């Protein structure tokens, strides 16, 4: 069944869950990105459940480290890698081509390290401030919002060059995509409302607002979006959502 094949591909793409890759690979994952928010909620729920157990024993900062560390582990650090690459690109001078070249460099520069450090520390600090009973709901909502931001980005901007990011942008131009996008947004907003009411809605809206900013900045600085921009936005949108919740 196509829906389940796309769900499996999206889950395989976003996490380290050991599932057999779909035959369509990246194409199926891109076409199935409307599943991203629900997969994000699943990831956040797992981390939140563990965090609530940890908070019973060692509340505060350690809980934040465990929660964010677990999310990064489940997602295989792929999005964090994109954040570091984007940081290097932002520090580069010159035309978009030079910034993209810096992002492709396998060596991590100061810009990439500092941007990743700041975003991760902000996320940990936010989780550390959450009441124990809100950890699961907050992490599920923020992770769903982070994944929705990538879906929106694919729908808003052109690719900077052929690559992983281009596959998702292409999928967002496929027949029937407006309906899938609407379902993705509605499911994310509905889930956030069910979990946290107004606070959940505001968390999702903050991620959506950040997406608009990142899309415009990517257009101006890079000439479009890349796979690294998608990953970086995921990390930043999570932090923005958690900040809104706190």
Give pLDDT tens digits along the chain (246 positions).
677 888 888 898 899 887 766 565 788 888 899 999 999 999 999 999 999 999 999 888 999 999 999 999 999 888 888 899 888 888 888 888 888 888 877 777 788 889 999 999 999 999 999 999 999 999 999 999 999 999 999 999 888 888 888 899 998 898 889 999 999 999 999 999 999 999 999 999 999 999 999 999 999 999 889 989 999 999 999 999 999 998
Q: How far apart are CA 88 and CA 25, in angstroms?
A: 29
> pTM of the prediction?
0.93
The CA distances from residue 29 to 22, 99, 162, 222, 224, in Å, are: 9, 27, 17, 24, 21
Quick one: which of 154, 179, 183, 196 has its CA closest to 44?
196
Q: What pLDDT does residue 24 have?
A: 59
Name beta bridge partners: 225.
159
Cβ-proximal residues to 190 (8 Å cutoff; 6+ apart), any chain? none
Q: What pLDDT does residue 89 have?
A: 84
Q: How far apart are CA 100 and CA 5, in angstroms?
A: 33
Q: What pLDDT does residue 90 have?
A: 83
Q: How far apart are CA 167 and CA 190, in angstroms?
A: 28
- What's the token pair of residue 208? 């959506």
Q: What pLDDT does residue 23 have?
A: 62
- What's the token pair of residue 133? 């009973």
């Amino acid at each position: 069944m196509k829906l389940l094949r796309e769900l499996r591909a999206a889950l395989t793409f976003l996490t380290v869950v050991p599932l057999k890759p779909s035959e369509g690979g990246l194409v199926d994952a891109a076409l199935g990105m409307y599943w991203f928010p629900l997969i994000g909620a699943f990831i956040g729920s797992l981390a939140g459940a563990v965090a609530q157990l940890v908070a019973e024993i060692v509340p505060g900062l350690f809980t934040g480290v465990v929660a964010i560390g677990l999310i990064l582990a489940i997602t295989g650090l792929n999005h964090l890698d994109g954040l570091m690459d984007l940081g290097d690109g932002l520090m580069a001078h010159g035309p978009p081509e030079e910034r993209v070249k810096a992002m492709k460099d396998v060596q991590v520069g100061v810009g990439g390290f500092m941007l990743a450090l700041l975003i991760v520390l902000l996320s940990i600090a936010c989780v550390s401030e959450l009441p124990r009973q809100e950890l699961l709901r907050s992490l599920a909502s923020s992770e769903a919002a982070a994944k929705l931001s990538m879906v929106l980005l694919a729908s808003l901007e052109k690719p900077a060059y052929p690559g992983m990011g281009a596959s998702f942008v292409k999928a967002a131009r496929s027949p029937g995509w407006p309906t899938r996008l609407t379902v993705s947004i509605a499911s994310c907003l509905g889930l956030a409302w069910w979990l946290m009411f107004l606070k959940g809605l505001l968390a999702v809206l903050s991620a959506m607002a950040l997406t608009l900013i990142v899309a415009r900045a990517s257009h101006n600085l890079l000439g479009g979006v890349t796979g690294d921009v998608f990953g970086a936005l995921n990390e930043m949108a999570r932090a923005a959502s958690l900040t809104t919740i706190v």
